[in-house]
């Protein structure tokens, strides 16, 4: 209860400054009433979705949109607060000066300046419209990122081998079948030799995938589709009535992946062979630092492979690579991860800037990294979670071509 009281107080305070800016710029009372109505509607919808219709930490489209609109509205008001608060401080100083120095009988507080409020509203509109755009279009703005990685010990038969990676489907958030179908077609159009999915198929429950399994079942590659589990796939964020119900949910998800033709790797490995040569595909269950599930067992997953095998590791959380993989006795040539979503918000201009607040939480948060002669690709995710959109960090299909030799050869 206390957190809701604190939330309401915070929300009303910052909304007050939003109202002050609107009132200063226009005297139209209909616009004033509209702002008040939106303020109350956004807050009420959020509270209702996260209390009356809440299933604990289970996220669905209705809850996600309630959070998204709240986030957009708060961002709008938060930009206004420091500007108008700064103006209030100056107005207060001028009022005190007028009262004390000029000996004015009455305390006079200067009026707000319309220009200041206009500038503040213009600045506030940037994050507000960006977040709304991210909800309307950004979340399905799929892009293909192509990389070429060189390895001196790559088997000759796999020179030019193409991998497509997707991650973080989060099917429980989807609300547009046509857009998802476009994304699936985009994956198949890459005509890669193999497809890897690196976890978080659902938000919380296997049932979220039922309406989408036939569509994702159309993913095809010559050497198959391989997958691993992410932290959301275990149902840990649901208040299950019994342990049996939770276990059934996980088994149902495993069955769905089987029906879709996904080869789910649970701390195990497979080999892909070409012309008498092979590469090892190693898949671990979720392993993440910072309170996330640690079901991954790298030693168990690699027990049937050899030290000199060329290895591709599927591990959902990139913190696993940082904490265990690059320090392991075995050399894992390429690790494929996801999990971070790039926070679904940031700025990326190739060759110029790559930034997201998620970098303060994860050292390796998006794209290709190399440490100790080993590579990792952190996929930005196919779907979305929480905020129902993306701003600057778009949904990603990764295509990696493996090449024999060095980059300069």
Same domain, 106 and 147: no
Q: What is the pLDDT of residue 300?
A: 97
Alpha helix (H) ranges present in 268-328? Answer: 298-301, 318-323
Backbone angle region of 286, left / alpha / beta, with phi > 0 → left and psi within -120 to 50 → alpha:
beta
Nearest-angstrom CA–CA distance, 373 and 153: 12
Q: What is the CATH number of the domain that holds 283?
A: 3.60.21.10
On whether the CB atoms of residues 79 and 130 are closer than 8 A, the answer is no
CA torsion 365-366-372-375 (nearest 10°) is: 140
Q: What is the pLDDT of residue 207?
A: 95
Nearest-angstrom CA–CA distance, 335 and 182: 27
Domain annotation covers residue 95: yes
Same domain, 166 and 66: no
Same domain, 299 and 275: yes
Domain annotation covers residue 392: yes
Same domain, 110 and 177: no
Same domain, 262 and 374: yes
pLDDT in tens, the chain (409 residues): 788 889 999 999 999 999 999 999 999 999 999 999 999 999 999 999 888 766 666 778 889 999 999 999 999 999 999 998 888 788 777 777 666 666 666 666 667 788 889 999 999 999 999 999 999 999 999 999 999 999 999 999 999 999 999 999 999 999 999 999 999 999 999 999 999 999 999 999 999 999 999 999 999 999 999 999 999 999 999 989 999 999 999 999 999 999 999 999 999 999 999 999 999 999 999 999 988 999 999 999 999 999 999 999 999 999 999 999 999 999 999 999 999 999 999 999 888 999 999 999 999 999 999 999 999 999 999 999 999 999 999 999 999 999 998 876 4
Same domain, 204 and 131: no
Same domain, 167 and 258: yes
Domain boundary among 108, 136, 164: 136
Q: Tell me which residue range forms the domain holding 74.
A: 2-136
Same domain, 87 and 39: yes
Structure tokens at 254: 């495993």
Same domain, 314 and 354: yes
Domain annotation covers residue 97: yes
Domain annotation covers residue 159: yes
Domain annotation covers residue 176: yes
Residues near 265 by beta carbon (within 8 Å), at least 6 away in sequence: 226, 227, 228, 281, 282, 283, 284, 301, 314
Domain boundary among 136, 154, 185: 136
Helix (H) or strand (E) holding 96: helix 61-100
Q: Which of helix, strand or coil describes residue 344?
A: helix
- Strand pairing partners for 263? 226
Total domains in the fold of the chain: 2
Alpha helix (H) ranges present in 277-376? Answer: 298-301, 318-323
Domain annotation covers residue 87: yes
Domain annotation covers residue 122: yes
Domain boundary among 106, 136, 166: 136
Same domain, 71 and 156: no
Same domain, 168 and 97: no
Domain annotation covers residue 409: no
Same domain, 39 and 170: no
């Amino acid at each position: 209860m206390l957190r809701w009281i604190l939330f309401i107080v915070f929300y009303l305070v910052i909304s007050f400054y939003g109202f002050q800016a609107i009132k200063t710029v226009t005297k139209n009372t209909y616009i004033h009433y509209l702002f008040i109505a939106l303020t109350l509607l956004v807050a009420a919808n959020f509270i209702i979705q996260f209390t009356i219709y809440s299933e604990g930490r289970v996220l669905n489209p209705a809850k996600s949109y309630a959070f998204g609109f709240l986030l957009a509205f708060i961002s709008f008001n938060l930009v206004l607060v420091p500007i108008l608060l700064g103006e209030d401080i100056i107005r207060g100083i001028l009022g005190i000066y007028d009262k004390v120095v000029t000996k004015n009988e009455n305390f006079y507080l200067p009026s707000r300046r319309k220009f200041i409020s206009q500038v503040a509203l213009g600045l506030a509109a940037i994050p507000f419209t960006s977040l709304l755009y991210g909800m309307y279009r950004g979340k399905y703005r799929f892009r293909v990122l192509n990389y070429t990685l060189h390895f001196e010990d790559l088997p000759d038969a796999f020179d030019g081998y193409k991998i497509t990676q997707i991650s973080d489907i989060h099917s429980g958030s989807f609300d547009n079948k046509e857009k998802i179908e476009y994304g699936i077609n985009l994956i198949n159009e890459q005509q890669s030799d193999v497809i890897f999915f690196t976890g978080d198929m659902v938000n919380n429950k296997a049932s979220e995938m039922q309406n989408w399994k036939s569509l994702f079942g159309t993913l095809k590659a010559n050497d198959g589709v391989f997958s691993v589990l992410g932290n959301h796939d275990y149902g840990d964020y649901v208040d299950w009535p019994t342990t049996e119900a939770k276990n059934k949910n996980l088994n149902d998800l495993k069955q769905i992946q089987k029906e879709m033709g996904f080869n789910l790797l649970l701390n195990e490995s497979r080999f892909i062979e070409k012309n008498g040569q092979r590469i090892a595909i190693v898949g671990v269950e979720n392993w993440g630092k910072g309170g996330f599930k640690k079901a991954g067992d790298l030693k168990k997953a690699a027990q049937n492979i050899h030290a000199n095998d060329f290895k591709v590791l599927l591990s959902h959380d990139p913190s696993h690579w940082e904490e265990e993989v690059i320090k392991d006795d075995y050399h894992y040539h390429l690790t494929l991860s996801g999990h971070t979503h790039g926070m679904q918000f940031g700025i990326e201009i190739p060759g110029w800037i790559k930034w997201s607040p998620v970098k303060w939480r994860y050292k390796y948060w998006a794209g290709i990294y190399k440490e100790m002669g080993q590579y990792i690709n952190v996929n930005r995710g196919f779907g979305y979670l929480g905020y129902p959109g993306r701003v600057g960090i778009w949904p990603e299909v990764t295509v990696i071509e493996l090449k024999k030799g060095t980059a300069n050869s």
